[in-house]
Structure 1
Amino acid sequence: MLAVRPNLPRARTTSLREAKVPLGIVSALGLTQIIGYGSLYYSFSILAPGMAKDLGLTVAQVFAVFSASLFVGGLSAPYIGRQMDRIGAAMVMAIGSALAALTLILCAWSPSVAVFALAIVLLEISSGMVQYQAAFAALVESDPRSASRSITYLTLIAGFASTIFWPISTVLMGYLSWREIYLVYAGLNLAVCMPLHLWIMRKGKVATASGSRPAREPVIGTIPRERRRAAVLVVSAAFALVSFTLGAMLAHMVPMLGALGLGSAAVVIGSLFGPAQVLSRLINMIFGTRLPPPGLAVVSAALMVVSVLILALSGDWLAGAVAFSVCLGLGSGINSIAQGSLPLYLFGSDGYGALTGKMAAARLVTGAAAPFAFAAAMEQFGIGASLVLSAALGAIGILAFIAVAMATKRSLVATPKTSD
């Protein structure tokens, strides 16, 4: 049973809702997240066939290198998180943008498979320095009180990364090689992302030095420090289990739908995932302000697990497949918000970078293993049974999130209302 802090004042909750969102920083980070995810993650699936042909590999082997890089990236996440607490998240993001540009150039130059593999691994490490983990920490660093709402706005903007970069990468493939495209993306990271990250860093320093920024009131988490380790393990395991379910579905969505008998419609059905992600974040931004992060995590996990069960039960039924893709996208969109807001709500703003780094490690390592594990399960047990097994793992994550939500709710109900 998770214990929670019994004296969290209700006035604190009100101040969090009324805190002003730093729209300039959120907008700048939104642009860098679109470029960061688009150039370092979403473009890979479009460019992979060209990479395989150029390097004399199969597409499966190229994706194996990518999965290995995700695993290494997960292992590096705790160290990156500690550095964000030590030197500042914006500084880490600025360094990460420079490293991303250099590794994209190294990847474009790579004369051999070994150099290519090294470049892809370094690329994933740099991704951990510029994507959500770091961006969320930068928002907490800027203003802990408004960070939860800022995270919602940021994920809404960044949700367009795949919508923008999948078509861009596809069009560029008609004119440039994958190596030349990576050089273009290196220029974006260096010329757009790095200056914006440096601007965010300088903005914070100038505001603090001039006294124009009031003392940043830290957010106090609902979990007392003596219970933090157990709670971190529970929440990390929950996110990891849900990440396994999501990672398995995303890696195999289109071919799996095709194998179920949906044919050419599989691509169209899979394309519904992205808009559903953005829709869920928009709905949460407008209507979800009163739902605390533990409840948000429960809803996101439940949507993803339900989506998998729908597909397992519906088979080649078109409406069932559409419901699967939409529900999975809705859950995934909210899950991104929960990854940033739940640790802040439970554990507070102190040490946020290091804490989310540990959680990201568990999530990324599990997500990296998901495509291979699910493929092996499909080969051994078939698609239907594999979907049920994946949903069962996700259901355990739901139970963990429910335990957290119930514990925090009991604490808030038992807390007497305080006045300002």
Structure 2
Amino acid sequence: MSKAASPPFPWMPVSLLGLLTIVGYGTWFYAFGVLLDPILDDTGWSEAWIVASFSATGLLGAAAAPVAGKLIDLQRFRPALAATGVVGAVGFGLASTTDSLAVFVGGTSAGGAALGAFAFYHVTQTLAVRYAPRAPARSVGVLTLWGAFASTIYIPFTAGLVETGDWRLTMRVLGAIAGVALVGLAVALPTTPTSETEQAPSRGLAFLNEPLARRHAIASFAIGITIGIVLVYQVTIMTSAGLSLATAAWLAGARGTAQFIGRLPVIWIVERVGSARALRLSYAAIAAGVGFLGFSGNPLIGFGYVVIGGIGIGAMSPIQGIHASEIFPSDRLGQGMGSMSLVMGISVAIGPVMAALIGGGSVRWVGPAVAFVAAVIAVAAVDKRRPLVEVT
């Protein structure tokens, strides 16, 4: 008796999730860096307050991530996705019309946190695995290739809108696009199939206390410290080392291209060495990259940071999703990935503050040193033992 044919790969749902990822990250996470100076020039508001509100938005989104995961597990993600689109459109629209810093912070916090909770990778990767339970590595790999275009599309698009109009018009357009896209995707995305894995239903969040889950949380927290330092201080570290601002900015932008390259062989690597070893390799590449960052006064060494660190960071996101699909029970995958998003969101916010405090305000050497040590801890924390859940 012949084996039943495997179901076709769900290209359409996974591609729609890729679009959701692009909009989710692009609307505020990537657009903020372009909008910051135009907002400050026009309003005279405190840069510290605006930047702090952006960081707080990330924390709020991370805090709500487990809720998003639970809604996915309960098959209620589509109404939540539509509501996120409405909140985003209203929040950014309100922020674009006000002369009050408090109202601006409130509007962007609501819109940005909603997108961070319901349109980031912990949501889209979970759904991608649900749509393709027999090919989780492939579905996450395809999804993150789509997601790699978020900064490539939204940074120049946002800059073009600002140059054509102003920051207020730009925020209204970005908010409107997010609203229409998320409501449309809530309608277009099909209901995810139920788990095909035969296992006893998990009780509550007890699965997070399993050794594999604990070690994954430790690794995620540690690498989040590294990523936070890199996101905030990479240009500052390179200019402090002696590079011009233009060169440092170019290298920081080129890292995005290297991240895309890092995602291309992910499925091939995971199939050959397993998700745990692949995750260790990505963390090790990040550690090596931030080591180069510390000595980036030489442009060639700075380019080493771009290539090695960028490839590691690019590979990290899909491999984390694949690894999570193997260590968390399938009926609690959403809550598991949401919880890891919360852990990493907190550490991304802590990393830059930690580097600044240890360095007494100077991150020239302290930033790369703290980032390197945290990445090494992440490498050591990943557990290579047999996963809780076998995914075929």
TM-score for both structures, normalised by structure 1: 0.84
Alignment of structure 1 residues 52-63 onto 2, 5 Å: 52-63=40-51
Q: Which amino acid aligns with 1:347?
A: F
Pairwise CA distance, 1:84: 2.2
After superposition, give the CA deviation of every residue in 1:14-54 in whole Å (9 maximum; x if it has no partner): 99xx6643100111111222122111210001001122233
Output the aligned Cα RMSD: 2.9
Pairwise CA distance, 1:359: 1.0
Q: Which amino acid aligns with 1:408?
A: R
1:408 equivalent in structure 2:
386
Pairwise CA distance, 1:286: 5.0
2:305 to 324, 327, 336: 324
**Alpha-carbon distance in 1 for matches of 2:65, 2:306:** 29
**Gaps spanning 5+ residues in structure 2: where?**
none
Q: Which amino acid aligns with 1:279?
A: I
Q: Which amino acid aligns with 1:367?
A: V
1:274 equivalent in structure 2:
256
2:149 equivalent in structure 1:
160
2:73 equivalent in structure 1:
85
Q: Which amino acid aligns with 2:287?
A: V
Contact kept, 8 Å, 1:293 with 1:341, in 2: the verdict is: yes
Q: Does 1:261 align with 2:250?
A: no
**Alpha-carbon distance in 2 for matches of 1:86, 1:377:** 43
Alignment of structure 1 residues 16-415 onto 2, 5 Å: 20-127=8-115, 128-200=117-189, 203-204=190-191, 216-218=195-197, 228-231=208-211, 232-263=213-244, 264-285=246-267, 288-312=270-294, 314-379=295-360, 382-401=363-382, 404-405=383-384, 407-408=385-386
**Alpha-carbon distance in 1 for matches of 2:349, 2:198:** 32
Cα 1:48/1:250, change in 2 over 3 Å:
same
Pairwise CA distance, 1:140: 2.9
After superposition, give the CA deviation of every residue in 1:300-334 in whole Å (9 maximum; x if it has no partner): 1111111111223x341221111112222111111
Aligned length: 384
**Gaps spanning 5+ residues in structure 1: where?**
1-13, 209-214
**Alpha-carbon distance in 2 for matches of 1:115, 1:219:** 50
The answer to which structure, 1 or 2, has the higher relative contact order (CA under 8 A, 6+ apart) is 1
Cα 1:219/1:171, change in 2 over 3 Å:
farther
Cα 1:191/1:114, change in 2 over 3 Å:
same
Cα 1:227/1:100, change in 2 over 3 Å:
closer
**Alpha-carbon distance in 2 for matches of 1:97, 1:227:** 31
**Alpha-carbon distance in 1 for matches of 2:95, 2:267:** 38
Pairwise CA distance, 1:228: 5.0
Cα 1:104/1:218, change in 2 over 3 Å:
farther
TM-score for both structures, normalised by structure 2: 0.89
**Structure with the higher helix share, 1 or 2:** 1
Partner SS, residue 272 of structure 2: coil
Partner SS, residue 174 of structure 1: helix
Pairwise CA distance, 1:56: 2.4
